[in-house]
Structure 1
Amino acid sequence: MLHLIVFVLALVSHVSAFDACPKCGGMEVPYPLSTRDDCGEPRYKTYCNNGVLEFLSAAGFYYQILSINPAEHRLIISPPFILENTCYSPDLPEGGLQLDENLPFNISTRNTVMLLNCSSSILSSPLNCSSNSLCRQFEAAEEGDGCQGTLCCHYLKDSAMTSHRIRVRVGGCTAYTSVVDMKPGESIDMWHYGVELQWVPPNSS
């Protein structure tokens, strides 16, 4: 009986070690996220590129992973920096952030998304494009320097909108950013820029 217990404990230890991917730079890669074929789950693929952990969109654009909360099945990726002296997101040619709907990731409802340099057609949408829109604060800040004076809007990512895409395009809005878990009345210097993704755990019903 003792030998059986030792064998089972050794097996559990081996499985845990096999499932745990090594750190990428200084960042832990918790299960089920995977950076290579011999750890994690293949449907939860992330990429360790030169010591930087990254998430690959369905359109082939890499986004740096800023933080991971395995207990809540969430990770935060960096929105791409708006190109200097322009109001264009680097992933504009890919149509913005797109997630593969066949994979277990989606965009969480804790993101306040700001669309920038928009055409007037967006005024017919339900988004907040008023002079009080949060995007005006972003435009006025150094981060949005190239977007000052453009038409912009913001919205809270919710279940009524696609949870797999933040869209930008020429003729629509050409840039975006996002703030995670924004509190009412929170000043811009307290904003946490990022796009929070959540995943469905393996074998979840």
Structure 2
Amino acid sequence: MAVLILFLLISLTYILTIHACPKCGSMDVPYPLSTNNNCGNRNYSVYCNNGTLEFLSAAGFYYQILSINPSAYKLIIRPPAIQKSTCQSSDLALGGLRLDENSPFNISSHNTVMLLNCSETILLSPLNCSSNSLCRQFEEKVEGGSSCRDALCCTYLKDASMTSHRIRVRVGGCTAYTSVVYLKPGDSIDSWHYGIELQWLPPN
């Protein structure tokens, strides 16, 4: 029995290695992620652009992939840049991050999202928009948030009760956002890890 289990493990490792895509720059592209038609599973498409591995949203915006954890079926993408002069996310024109609901990817519940430069209509939502909200620390202490000071901002933990396919921004609502992954109570701002964690369903 032990020999059979060892054989199956070796076979599985061999199959996954054969179907894995080549590295993109210095980053491994583990199965089932796919950068072309000859490797991976095309339902899990990502893109290698000039040595940078990227995730394409349903709206057509490319987000840099910062890390991949294939054993947990998760990857982390970089939040969009915030324009310094206007406090607008670079994906504002596309409405923020939106995933295809028919794809195997969704937004995990480990993201603490900060909505910036918001209108007062956001106060109708069950978010933390108080003066001690974490988004205030971001605006005051991080250069990327400096253009958003003195405007309403709100923070929330994206949990299972919310849509797992979108982080929305729009003119007339909130025009910018960022996200911190795996934030723990009491973490100092210097230890925050900026990113948006996506998880995927494994292929059948």
Instruction: Provide TM-score, normalisation by structure 2.
Output: 0.92
Aligned position for 1:5: none
Question: Deviation of residue 202 (structure 1)?
Answer: 0.4
For each residue in 1:42-79, what CA deviation from the matched residue of structure 2 results, as whole angstroms up to 9, or x when unmatched? Answer: 10000000000000000000000000000101000000
Partner residue, 1:97: 97
CA distance in 2, matches of 1:157, 1:14: 37
1:123-134 equivalences under 5 Å are: 123-134=123-134
Preserved contact between residue 16 and residue 31 of structure 2 (Cα < 8 Å): no
Q: Determine the C-alpha separation between the residues in 1 that align with 2:133 and 2:86.
A: 20
Give yes or no for the alignment of 1:179 onto 2:180. Answer: yes
Contact 1:128 1:154 (C-alpha < 8 Å) held by counterparts: yes
Question: 1:14-42, CA deviations, whole angstroms, 9 ceiling, x for partnerless residues?
Answer: 74444110000000000000000010001
Using a 3 Å threshold, how does the CA distance of structure 1 residues 129 and 22 change in structure 2: closer, same or farther? same
| Cα distance in 1 for residues equivalent to 2:132 and 2:125 | 16
CA offset digits 1:151-179 (Å, max 9, x no partner):
00000001111000000000000000000
Spell out the pairing of 1:32-181 with structure 2 (5 A cutoff). Answer: 32-141=32-141, 142-181=143-182
After superposing the two structures, state which structure 1 stretch, 151-160 or 78-87, moved more.
78-87
CA distance in 1, matches of 2:17, 2:169: 41
Task: Identify unmatched segments of 5+ residues in structure 1.
Answer: 1-10
Q: Secondary structure at the match of 2:136?
A: helix
Larger-gyration structure (1/2) = 1
In the alignment, the residues of structure 1 paired with residue 12 and residue 26 of structure 2 have an alpha-carbon distance, to the nearest angstrom, of 26
Name the SS for the 1:189 alignment partner. Answer: helix
Q: 2 CA distance for matches of 1:75 and 1:184?
A: 23
Relative distance call for 1:12 and 1:110 in structure 2 (3 A) is closer
1:198 paired to 2:199: yes
**Residue in structure 1 matched with residue 189 of structure 2 by the alignment:** 188
> Which residue of structure 2 aligns with residue 3 of structure 1?
none
Stretches of structure 2 that go unaligned for 5 or more consecutive residues are: 1-10
Q: Tell me the distance in 1 between the aligned counterparts of 2:74 and 2:191.
A: 21
1:30–1:70 CA contact under 8 A, matched in 2: yes
Q: d(CA) in 2 for partners of 1:14 and 1:138?
A: 45
Q: How many residues align?
A: 195
RMSD, matched Cα: 1.7
8 Å contact kept, 2:34–2:42: yes
Q: Deviations over 1:131-168 (max 9, x none)?
A: 01100000102120100111000000011110000000
Aligned residue for 1:35, secondary structure, equals: coil
In structure 2, what is the Cα distance between the partners aligned to 1:153 and 1:69? Answer: 29
Cα separation, 2, equivalents of 1:83 and 1:55: 21
SS in 2 for 1:131: coil
